[in-house]
Amino acid sequence: MIYKAVEDKIIMTEQESFNIEQILECGQCFRFEKLGEMYYKIVACKKELFIRQTADRVEFFPCDKYDFENIWIEYFDLNRDYQKIKNTLSKRDSVLAEAIKYGSGIRLLNQEPWECLLSFIISQNNNIPRIKGIIRAMADTYGENGAFPTLEEIEKATVDELFELRMGFRAKYIYDAIQKVKSGKVDLEALFEINAEEAREKLMLIKGVGPKVADCVLLFSLKKKEVFPTDVWVKRVMSYFYFNNEETDINAIHKYASKNWGEYAGFAQQYLFYYARSLKIGTK
């Protein structure tokens, strides 16, 4: 990867495995807006960032070298060798090879745990346009300049006030997440230091955080790349391709993923999820 600063932009070239559309639309994040073909705006890490990709380059703006090196390289996981991951996984089975071919520009973002946690609590039993709308409403109401609210900015919110943002029954879950983090019962930063299993248990102390939401937070923000968040889509695609289209319980799926994909299970999940959704596997 090569990058240079030009005016208010960072121009990145010779970057393998980077497709901005696939990265943002593969279901791992919610604060993005499509402005045109391969042209997006995201809000993350308290910044608004535009990203435009053409055949030979990716432009990030407004962005200087400092922010690129200190925020976005990490956020977009640019130091990781995806070619190696894709080669390894593709050799394991042909289904995954096909999924990887389809979503070859996917990367796993390293999001902020706090935002990731609240966002995936909102996501349960919900659809994407609504999820995005509720998160935006939280940001507009409590955050600074449309950025996702910090704990300090949102900690005084009552359940009733949260409910007014149209998040429904999830308002009490968001409230509980705020209280547990505020009190230190759940120390998000400390979760980086412990293993996935222990971190999952901690996250599930929060009301409204079950196995699926916890695994999303672990994978998308706490760098536990071996976890395999299993939602309805992943369940469908796993059942369809690996379990002879039979009703499959979550434990069997986790076991299969762990055994076959090990430390790369999280990446496999993302390729399969994107593949399944695009093909609408399992839906009528």
In the complex, the residues that contact DNA under the rule CB under 7 A are: 27-28, 120, 123-130, 163, 166-170, 173, 204, 206-214, 216, 229, 231-233, 283
Which stretches of the chain are DSSP H helices?
A: 20-25, 65-67, 73-75, 82-92, 94-102, 113-123, 128-142, 151-154, 159-162, 171-183, 196-203, 211-220, 232-242, 250-261, 265-279
Distances (CA, A) of 3 to 14, 40, 53, 111, 133: 9, 19, 14, 22, 34
Report the sign of the C-alpha dihedral through residues 115, 121, 125, 130, in that order.
Answer: negative
Smaller CB separation from DNA, 11 or 137: 137
State in angstroms the smallest separation of the CB of 67 from DNA. 26
Smaller CB separation from DNA, 15 or 119: 119
State in angstroms the smallest separation of the CB of 196 from DNA. 15
State in angstroms the smallest separation of the CB of 210 from DNA. 2
State in angstroms the smallest separation of the CB of 98 from DNA. 21
State in angstroms the smallest separation of the CB of 183 from DNA. 17
Smaller CB separation from DNA, 12 or 108: 108
State in angstroms the smallest separation of the CB of 134 from DNA. 9
Single out the residue of 73, 76, 107, 72 nearest to residue 274, CA to CA.
107
Count of Cβ atoms closer than 10 Å to residue 280 Cβ? 10
Q: Which residues contact residue 177 at a Cβ distance below 8 angstroms, ignoring those fewer than 6 apart?
A: 117, 118, 121, 186, 206, 207, 208, 209
Smaller CB separation from DNA, 28 or 110: 28
Task: Give the pair of three-digit tokens for residue 205.
Answer: 């102390």
State the residue for tokens 């659809």: 127
C-alpha 263, offset from chain centre: 17
Smaller CB separation from DNA, 63 or 218: 218
Smaller CB separation from DNA, 212 or 223: 212
Q: In what order do the strands lie in the sheet with 32-36?
A: 2-6, 9-13, 57-61, 47-54, 39-44, 32-36
State in angstroms the smallest separation of the CB of 280 from DNA. 10
Count of Cβ atoms closer than 10 Å to residue 94 Cβ? 10
**Interior CA angle at 274 toward 56 and 173, to 5°?**
120
Smaller CB separation from DNA, 19 or 88: 19
